[in-house]
Copies of this chain bind each other. A is one copy, B any other.
Amino acid sequence: MTAELKVGVAGLGTVGSALLRILIDRADDLAAATGRPLRVTAVSARNRSRDRGVDLSQVTWHDDPLALARDPDVDVVVELIGGAEGAARDTVTAALEGGKSVVTANKALLAAHGVELARLAEQSGAALNFEAAVAGGIPVVKALREALPGNALHGIFGILNGTCNYILTRMEEDKLGFAECLKEAQVLGYAEADPTFDIGGFDTAHKLAILTSLAFGTQVDADAVYVEGIASITPLDLQMADELGYRIKLLGVARRTPEGIEQRVHPTMVLKSSALAQVMGVTNAVAITGSAVGELTFVGPGAGGNATASSVVSDLADIARGTAVAPFGRHTERLATAERAPMQTHQGGYYIRMTALDRPGAAASIATRMAEEEISLESIIQRHPRARKGGEDVLAKDSSVPVVLITHATSEAAVRRALDKVIADGHIEGVPQLIRIETE
């Protein structure tokens, strides 16, 4: 048996504590699986007194994670501090510069500085592993990085944020409003006090940027991700989706298109029969389409201390075994600069919900403006409010009526132009709701 692998853990919150417990409880099995013992030799956290359920008396405690990164008694640094800058970035940088391998769960850091850090790792021959940064316990980073080299990948479709999926699931199943479900998610600990990062789609965007790089062999390009959150989704949208055979999910989508690589995060109508539509609550899922394999779907826990720690342990085990894979699947010199497909060129079906004023001309305006942009309609649904239940958002005025259009494939630009004209015609109230449809 080879020498032990000395692990330093920076950040002892929920994931860090779970990690320490697993490394102790499963020490024998880990040694059997990797051929060498894994031992925690150093930790760093702000609060020394908190009980983490493990004996840390034999472990060096560093108040400064940078000192942990430079501790000669540490072979590999696990960074669980979080944040794209500051202590997390400094710690990871110092570790890699010192030739130590790094395991991190930090999607913000990787989305912002992934390629730069990968370059540092390459220079010293260290590993930079980040299975836990995307989709919690699902081994999708490993799958993309190692298991699909026989495929030209076409697309990635991910439910990558448990908070959003929980809220959408609750809204759908119990016909509740967004604000109510968000509050409930906060009470249950599924959403932060400031939930913007999750519900605004930004967390999903960071994760998507990482998956996109792995899938397409391109540099991480988080700035290129088009982002919409879920705050505008109403119970009426969910009801209409249901009637039309869809569910609404916040998806991160990356696709290779003739215009370049499309990266987008937005509420999406997915067919009820699709694998992603079955994913409820805080669960995450990633569907991958490739030239040889067709479609693969991975479903599992997107968060939680133990599930995330499971991925951190997987990364540590690979380092213990000496597995050498480039952080983003290929040498940074071979990561292409992605051609960005602008959102305006996106092609797909659209769900458009408008509140039309109940007077002559509204339907003609909508139909004409769509026709002018050569948008063909699969369905038009107009119902008088009296005929419906729920949907408190459109019952404000008796003189307005919801109109829902489902378009055949068209471009984002055409839809935007048509809606601008419909708004200018003055027959609708407020801003139209636009939800993209994925049928793949």
A residues with a Cβ closer than 8 A to B are 18, 22, 26, 29-30, 32-35, 131, 137-139, 142-143, 146-152, 217, 275, 278, 290-301, 304, 306-307, 309-314, 317-318, 321-326, 329-331, 334
Q: Please indicate the chain B residues that have their CB under 8 angstroms from the CB of A142 in the complex.
A: 142-143, 146-147
Task: Point out the residues of chain B lying under 8 angstroms from A323, CB to CB.
Answer: 146, 321, 323-325
Chain B nearest CB from A150 CB (Å) reads 3
A318 and B146 form a contact (CB under 8 A): yes
Contact, CB under 8 Å: B137 / A292: yes
Expressed in whole angstroms, the Cα–Cα distance for A148 and B321 within the complex equals 14
CB distance B292 to A306 under 8 Å?
A: yes
Closest to A275 in B: B299
CA distance A177 to B34 in the complex (A): 50
Q: Give 6 closest A-B pairs by Cβ, nearest first.
A: A150-B313, A139-B147, A292-B310, A137-B293, A296-B300, A292-B306
27 sample A-B contacts, Cβ–Cβ < 8 Å, listed by A number? A30-B149, A30-B150, A32-B217, A32-B331, A33-B329, A35-B326, A137-B293, A139-B148, A142-B146, A142-B147, A143-B143, A150-B309, A150-B310, A150-B312, A150-B314, A150-B317, A151-B310, A275-B299, A292-B306, A292-B307, A292-B310, A293-B301, A294-B307, A296-B298, A297-B299, A321-B323, A321-B325
Known contacts A293-B301, A294-B307; A139/B150 CB under 8 A = no
Complexed CA–CA distance, A382 and B87 (Å) = 68
Q: Are A146 and B310 in contact (CB under 8 A)?
A: no
Across-interface contacts of A32 in B (CB, < 8 A): 217, 330-331, 334
CA–CA, A138 and B288, complex, Å? 11
Q: How many copies does the complex hold?
A: 2
| Complex alpha-carbon distance, A318 and B148, angstroms | 11
- What B residues does A137 contact at CB under 8 A? 292-294, 296
Chain B hits for A138, CB < 8 A: 296
CA distance A142 to B144 in the complex (A): 12
Name the prevailing secondary structure of the A interface residues: mixed
Instruction: Output the least CB separation between A206 and chain B (Å).
Output: 22
Q: Are A313 and B278 touching (Cβ within 8 A)?
A: no
Task: List the B residue with the shortest CB-CB distance to A320.
Answer: B149
Cβ of A143 and Cβ of B149 under 8 Å apart? no
CB of B149 within 8 A of CB of A317, answer: yes
B301 and A298 contacting across the interface, CB-CB below 8 Å: no
A-B contacts besides A146-B314, A291-B306, A294-B300, 14 pairs, CB < 8 Å: A22-B150, A22-B292, A32-B331, A32-B334, A33-B330, A139-B296, A149-B313, A275-B299, A292-B313, A293-B300, A293-B307, A294-B307, A297-B300, A299-B299
A150 touches B297 (CB 8 A): no
A309 to B293, CA, bound (A): 8
A131 closest partner in B (C-beta): B147
Which chain B residues lie closer than 8 Å to A331 at the CB level? 32, 35
Pick the contact of A322: B301, B324, B334 (CB < 8 A).
B324
Report the minimal beta-carbon distance from A96 to chain B, rounded to whole angstroms. Answer: 19
Contacts of A318 in B (CB 8 A): 146
Output the least CB separation between A292 and chain B (Å).
4
Give the Cβ gap from A390 to chain B, nearest Cβ, in Å. 23
Whether the Cβ atoms of A314 and B148 lie closer than 8 Å is yes
Chain B residues with Cβ under 8 A from A307's Cβ?
292-294
Give the residue name and chain of the B residue nearest to A33 (CB).
B149
